[in-house]
Chains A and B, each alone.
Chain A
Amino acid sequence: MEFLLFLVRRILWSILVLVGLSIVIFAIARVVPGDPARMALGPTATAQQVADLQEKLGLNKPIVEQYGMFIAGLSQGDLGRSLLTERPVNDDIRETFGATFELVLATITLAFVFGVPLGVAAARWKDKWPDTLVRILAIFSAVTPSFFAALLLQILAGYVLHILPTTGRLPHNMEFVASVTGLLTVDSLLAGRLDVFGEALRYLLLPATALALATMGQIARITRSSMIDVSSQDYIEASRAFGVPEPIRVFKYMLRPSFVPPLTILGLEFASLIGNAFVVELVFAWPGIASYGIRTILQKDLNAVMGVVMVSGVFFVLVNLVIDVLVGFVDPRVRIRGSR
């Protein structure tokens, strides 16, 4: 019951953030540029053409009414038309989002699968060489720009060792459309195409690694410090005194509470992870939402850009909602206190 209440409160809060986000985006798109119609048509358009487009887009209505129209469109999932592709922005985003989502999922998986054990090892052998190694790794992962990590990985794995492909999602001669979930790895398995699955994984590995490094370092670092904090708690001392075997003590009693800080960190870091995804997608020519966003920015395609920003924000808010629910699940104290 108390969990349900926590959930409802958390969801209401997410909706409030999204409303705020929509106001910010609306302000950037409609208020800052002065006249979006003039911007869309360019300096050579006649006054009549500008007036027609203003009429068509509803730009001559009061600003509050325009925001109402914007929200009405958003609530129906309508982000307007892209000037670049001349298609609804929704369709463009739906097509590109799958690639980004797959990249981000792979990134989070890599970051946790390597980050948490590294943090546990560093805490277990505190002030010994594994600890030093993990701390150096954490610092370097935090200060390496992700485009630089991407380039170095590309040089190493693609040009020097020739073991992994450096651009795209699939080989050019491989025909496969991810039509169910948009995730190549999932859809190829659903279609029983193991060859596509293997290739998709190979293409995914480099960009996901480049993107995961920063988060992985943070997770290792925070897991280390929370494991060390937990290890001095009375109940851990007690379990040691009772002779509970070390693997059970570490993995059952210490790791569970230590799991909360890395999750929280992931939530906060997620915004910069999306930002870095833009750069990494560009380097690896990954056909995701970021590549689309960058192409449309250069064309001053406002509807598309605002769609991309809105989707990034929604993605962030949803991921944080999921994380908070997970944290509430792992740590009962959070849901009782009600969080935030």
Chain B
Amino acid sequence: MASETISTTPPRRLSNAYQNWYRFSRNPTAVIGAAIVILAILAAILAPWITPHPDHVGAVVNFRARHLPPSAEYWFGTDNVGRDIFTRVIFGLRISLLLALVVLGIAIPVGTTLGLLAGYFGGWVEIVIMRLTDIALAIPPLVMALAVAAVLSPDLINSMLAIAALWWTWHTRLIYSITRQLRTQEFVEAAETLGASKFHILFREILPNCVSALAVKTSLDAGFVILVGASLSFLGLGIQPPTPDLGTMVASGSAFLPDYWWESVLPGAAILIVALGFNLLGDGLRDLFDVQEVR
């Protein structure tokens, strides 16, 4: 690989980790966001050990303890069959985070590759890819998931695949717009002149310049995927009971409004806080990297 000799000096602001950390730690929204995200991930991983009633994850019935308001024993109260809502909320985080992980794990590589190809090669490659993204953008992810649920069966895997099948469009559009700007830059032309392979130019020259924008986008998106996923399970199309899921808990709890408000309001607040964490983190990263392209 002769092309390895080409200098790919990363932008200076990325190279100074300490300086980045200093600026990050001075940005209160970013720190709060990062704290929420880290706490949520830890809580989800450690759920069986940190929750007071891990057995309430299944189809446990305890009628003497049903509809209890929040108390020292049941922090978030109990639901209509007497299960601890706090425990189920922490376990519900697992599903939400898993959803974000899988959807973005599919959408980012696919969307990024297509965006690089469309932005760099132009011509018919650009036309085909960008027109495909326009078509995919015309279908609301939630509606797509509904259609897939109707054809297959309503469960978590199908919903995740349906959301991922549309989500890549946002990454394609983002990477496409950056790549188009970079395509005519001197460092890309230099690599071309030196005979670097297309693969090298796309993934070693252009892609590193997209990383900060991708990081911002990924953090913001994780929050939005969690919201879409929660909406799906609220409609009954997510993971099926008795596995705890935040959206499902809000839906089943809402049947007991307004008297037993905690059964729907507290799981709903949990969704909001996790989404808020990813959003604040994304905003903080955007300030840190000074990325303009990402909404």
Q: Residues of A with Cβ closer than 8 Å to B?
A: 16-17, 20-21, 24-25, 28-29, 32-33, 139-140, 142-148, 151-152, 154-155, 159-160, 265, 268, 271-272, 274-276, 278-279, 282-283, 293-294, 296-298, 300-302, 305-306, 308-309, 312-313, 316-317, 320
- A274 and B234 form a contact (CB under 8 A): no
Contacts A305-B146, A305-B147, A309-B147; A151 near B265 (Cβ below 8 A): yes
- A272 and B257 form a contact (CB under 8 A): no
B205 contacts chain A at the CB level, 8 A cutoff: no
- A145 and B131 form a contact (CB under 8 A): no
- B257 and A159 form a contact (CB under 8 A): yes
- B143 and A274 form a contact (CB under 8 A): yes
Q: Residues of B with Cβ closer than 8 Å to A?
A: 131-132, 134-135, 137-144, 146-152, 154, 223, 227-228, 230-231, 234-237, 247, 250-251, 254, 257-258, 261, 264-265, 268-269, 271-272, 275-276, 279-280, 283, 295
List B contacts of A21 (CB < 8 A).
135, 138-139
- B143 and A309 form a contact (CB under 8 A): yes
- A148 and B146 form a contact (CB under 8 A): no
* A281 CA to B254 CA, complexed, in Å: 14
- A20 and B250 form a contact (CB under 8 A): no
Contact of B135 among A20, A139, A275, A302 (CB under 8 A): A20
* A148 CA to B269 CA, complexed, in Å: 8
- B223 and A271 form a contact (CB under 8 A): no
- A151 and B264 form a contact (CB under 8 A): yes
Contacts A143-B223, A302-B151; A312 near B234 (Cβ below 8 A): no
- B147 and A306 form a contact (CB under 8 A): yes
- CB-nearest residue of chain A to B173: A268
CB within 8 Å: A-B pair count: 152
List B contacts of A297 (CB < 8 A).
146-147, 149-150, 154, 237
- B265 and A275 form a contact (CB under 8 A): no
Q: Please, could you name 24 A-B residue pairs with CB atoms under 8 Å apart, sorted by A?
A: A17-B138, A20-B132, A28-B147, A28-B148, A28-B151, A29-B147, A139-B279, A139-B280, A139-B283, A143-B272, A143-B276, A144-B275, A147-B231, A147-B251, A275-B143, A275-B231, A278-B142, A278-B235, A297-B237, A308-B146, A309-B147, A312-B143, A316-B139, A317-B138
Known: A147-B247, A297-B149. 6 other contacts (CB 8 A): A29-B147, A140-B272, A147-B234, A159-B258, A271-B139, A279-B142
List A contacts of B150 (CB < 8 A).
296-297, 300-302, 305
- B231 and A152 form a contact (CB under 8 A): no
* A265 CA to B295 CA, complexed, in Å: 9
- B139 and A312 form a contact (CB under 8 A): yes
- B138 and A148 form a contact (CB under 8 A): no
* A282 CA to B232 CA, complexed, in Å: 12
Expressed in whole angstroms, the minimum distance between the Cβ of A68 and any Cβ of chain B is: 20
Expressed in whole angstroms, the minimum distance between the Cβ of A257 and any Cβ of chain B is: 18
Contacts A20-B131, A32-B151, A159-B258; A279 near B279 (Cβ below 8 A): no
List A contacts of B276 (CB < 8 A).
139-140, 143
List A contacts of B227 (CB < 8 A).
143, 145
Contact of B138 among A33, A306, A316 (CB under 8 A): A316
Expressed in whole angstroms, the minimum distance between the Cβ of B70 and any Cβ of chain A is: 16
Expressed in whole angstroms, the minimum distance between the Cβ of A151 and any Cβ of chain B is: 6
- B139 and A152 form a contact (CB under 8 A): no
- CB-nearest residue of chain B to A36: B151
Contacts A278-B142, A301-B150, A313-B139; A145 near B272 (Cβ below 8 A): yes
- A271 and B140 form a contact (CB under 8 A): yes
List B contacts of A154 (CB < 8 A).
257
- CB-nearest residue of chain B to A147: B234
- B141 and A272 form a contact (CB under 8 A): yes
List A contacts of B251 (CB < 8 A).
147
- CB-nearest residue of chain B to A312: B143
- B268 and A151 form a contact (CB under 8 A): yes
List B contacts of A147 (CB < 8 A).
230-231, 234, 247, 250-251, 268
Pick the most buried of B131, B141, B147: most chain A CB atoms within 10 A of its CB: B147
List A contacts of B237 (CB < 8 A).
297
Contacts A20-B132, A28-B151, A139-B276; A145 near B139 (Cβ below 8 A): no
- CB-nearest residue of chain A to B135: A20
Contacts A28-B147, A297-B149, A309-B147; A155 near B257 (Cβ below 8 A): yes
- A278 and B138 form a contact (CB under 8 A): no
- Please provide the 7 A-B residue pairs with the shortest distance between their CB atoms, ordered closest to farther: A275-B142, A20-B135, A275-B140, A148-B268, A159-B258, A143-B275, A271-B140
Expressed in whole angstroms, the minimum distance between the Cβ of B287 and any Cβ of chain A is: 12
List A contacts of B151 (CB < 8 A).
28-29, 32-33, 302, 305
List B contacts of A320 (CB < 8 A).
138
Pick the most buried of A142, A151, A302, A320: most chain B CB atoms within 10 A of its CB: A151
* A278 CA to B236 CA, complexed, in Å: 12
Expressed in whole angstroms, the minimum distance between the Cβ of B140 and any Cβ of chain A is: 4
Contact of B231 among A151, A279, A302 (CB under 8 A): A279
* A43 CA to B139 CA, complexed, in Å: 31
- B131 and A16 form a contact (CB under 8 A): yes
* A278 CA to B139 CA, complexed, in Å: 13
Pick the most buried of B150, B258, B268: most chain A CB atoms within 10 A of its CB: B150
List A contacts of B147 (CB < 8 A).
25, 28-29, 297, 305-306, 308-309
Expressed in whole angstroms, the minimum distance between the Cβ of B291 and any Cβ of chain A is: 14
List A contacts of B135 (CB < 8 A).
17, 20-21, 24
- A294 and B258 form a contact (CB under 8 A): no
List B contacts of A298 (CB < 8 A).
236
List B contacts of A140 (CB < 8 A).
272, 276
Contacts A20-B131, A151-B254, A305-B150; A282 near B235 (Cβ below 8 A): yes
